Amino acid sequence: MSTLPAAAAPCGLVLSQPETAVLADTFKLLGDTTRLSILLCCLNAPRSVGEIAEALDQSQSLVSHHLRLLRAARLVRGERQSRQVFYSLSDAHVSDMLHVMAHHIAEERSA
């Protein structure tokens, strides 16, 4: 993402059209409760597809489908250990975003 100095960026953050489209697509992905729940499930520790499916009471094939989309958007990464793949959030940016938004929601509830 590209940013300009505050004096040159009247709207705060300036993104190119392709960057804005990618950001919008990312928010669309996060707008699905199953995908968001998968991210939250992987927040503290890597999880296998089976663990995620059990925790969310979803089928493994459905969870795998959503994980493919999340991987394509670079929101999760998979690490193969023997015959299983364990999924975790791709980096601190994703984790930070989830924590900040959860805090934001909690603030609104208490106001």
Distance of CA 58 to the CA centre of its chain: 18
> If you write DSSP's letter for every residue of 20-61 in order, what string do you get?
HHHHHHHHHHHTSHHHHHHHHHTSSS-EEHHHHHHHHT--HH
Instruction: Tell me the pLDDT tens digit for each residue of 58-75.
Output: 999 999 999 999 999 999
Percent of the chain with pLDDT over 70: 90
Please say if the pLDDT value at position 7 is more than 70. Answer: no
pLDDT band at 5 (very low <50, low <70, confident <90, very high): low
Please say if the pLDDT value at position 9 is more than 70. Answer: no
Side by side, the strands of the sheet bearing 47-48 are: 47-48, 84-89, 76-81
Q: Which two tokens stand for residue 23?
A: 């950001």
DSSP 8-state symbol, 2: -
Which helix (H) or strand (E) element contains residue 105? helix 92-110
